[in-house]
Amino acid sequence: MDHSIIVAIVLVLAAFVALEIGFSSALAEIMAGIALGFFFVDIHNLGWIDFLGNLGLLGLMFLAGFEVDINRLRGTWKASVSIGVASLLAPMAGVFVTCYFGLGLGFKASGLIAIGLSTTSLALVYHALKERGALGNDFGQVVLGAATVVDVLSMVLLALLLGNTGWGTAIFLLVILPTIFGLPRIGQWIFRRYAGSIVEFELRFLMVVLISMGFMAEHVGGIHPAVIAFAIGLVMAEVVEEHSEVEEKLRAIVFSLLAPVFFLSAGMQINLSLVTREVFVQLLLLGSLAIGLKFAGTAIAAQRLLGHSAVYMGLLFNYRLAFGIATATVGLESKVITPTQYSMILLVIVASAILPALFLRVAPNELDGPNPAARS
């Protein structure tokens, strides 16, 4: 049977199983991807999976930016920044010290592994909040804001570690920032002029903007495209909100096709044959450190600043995926880490995306607790 047909069938089955057992569809697709990569070794060579998966990441980040209410976030930014910084630095310090002094790895390799295992997946956090209906309240805004802080700081630290910044980044930012802030005016004109068009010009416009700016961000500015996609969603939120039919169509495209392919491809990148006994021990050590310290840093900060939801946020921020995978990929391409270390990072990332989901099923639901902005 053709591999493309197998992938299509697995995508449908993963969604079906997730709905029937009440499990996160994103994690079901990741686990299905691991199985595909293990049993069909050549399946990751399908070019359309990489393309749609990358587009799915951009779509998820755009929608995540769209969900952030700037006016509401102004009242919660202190909590978001404080929780985000604590959530990043606690596991990063522990993992770096263990890799550098305990495992004898180099400075760059230790730093890259520490960054990769300390990220929080904005896509999965957004997905989890959406499933629980928490995106519209203050708590959801604090969580999205804090997750954004974690990932933006992660990408800044990665750029500093690998020296990816330079004149290209400066020129890119000088050009891209005015362009991003000018997009709402352009979008407003396009949405008014071509509303209801059978060719769906509004959606084409959004897709072209996401792909082109994402490409420029990565290849010219040294910035991960997901960060730019989130920023575009942030500034375009008001325009898209005024045209609900465009928003509904975009969500349908992202959540029915693009996002599932992205999550599936993430699982397919793992090479289980590289996991020896020694690697497995290191995986358990680093994974336990990363998950435990991430939970502690996030939960302590959340309890002090919000007064509630500490356990929930500690578990939720242990979701790792997009930026962690991006960090590992950049490290492998730059020859900072080995293929074995790459697979180890990805296994920890996937495990830390699955374990929180299992614990969150029995964790107390504190989403209706007091206003999280109250103490910020």
- Within 8 A by CB and 6+ apart from 57, the residues are 123, 225, 226, 229, 262, 322
The residue ranking higher by pLDDT, 369 or 70, is 70
With respect to residue 305, please indicate whether it lies within any of the assigned structural domains: yes
pLDDT above 70: residue 220: no
Whether the Cβ atoms of residue 242 and residue 66 lie closer than 8 Å to each other: no
Could you report the per-residue pLDDT of 140-173, keeping only the tens digit for each?
888 888 988 887 788 778 877 876 566 667 777 7
Residue 121's pLDDT band (cuts 50, 70, 90): confident
With respect to residue 37, please indicate whether it lies within any of the assigned structural domains: no
With respect to residue 22, please indicate whether it lies within any of the assigned structural domains: no
What is the structure's pLDDT at 369? Answer: 44
State the number of CA atoms in the 13 A half-sphere of 244 facing the CB: 0
What is the structure's pLDDT at 41? Answer: 58
With respect to residue 129, please indicate whether it lies within any of the assigned structural domains: yes
With respect to residue 33, please indicate whether it lies within any of the assigned structural domains: no
Tell me the CATH number at 79: 1.20.1530.20
With respect to residue 1, please indicate whether it lies within any of the assigned structural domains: no
Could you report the per-residue pLDDT of 313-369, keeping only the tens digit for each?
898 899 887 778 778 877 887 788 988 888 888 888 878 877 877 777 766 555 444
With respect to residue 13, please indicate whether it lies within any of the assigned structural domains: no
- What's the predicted TM-score (pTM) here? 0.76
**Domains in the chain: how many in total?**
1
Whether the Cβ atoms of residue 306 and residue 75 lie closer than 8 Å to each other: no
Q: 317 is written with which tokens? A: 């921020």
Residue 183's pLDDT band (cuts 50, 70, 90): confident
Could you report the per-residue pLDDT of 14-42, keeping only the tens digit for each?
999 988 887 778 878 888 988 888 887 56
The residue ranking higher by pLDDT, 117 or 125, is 117
What is the domain range of residue 343? Answer: 48-375
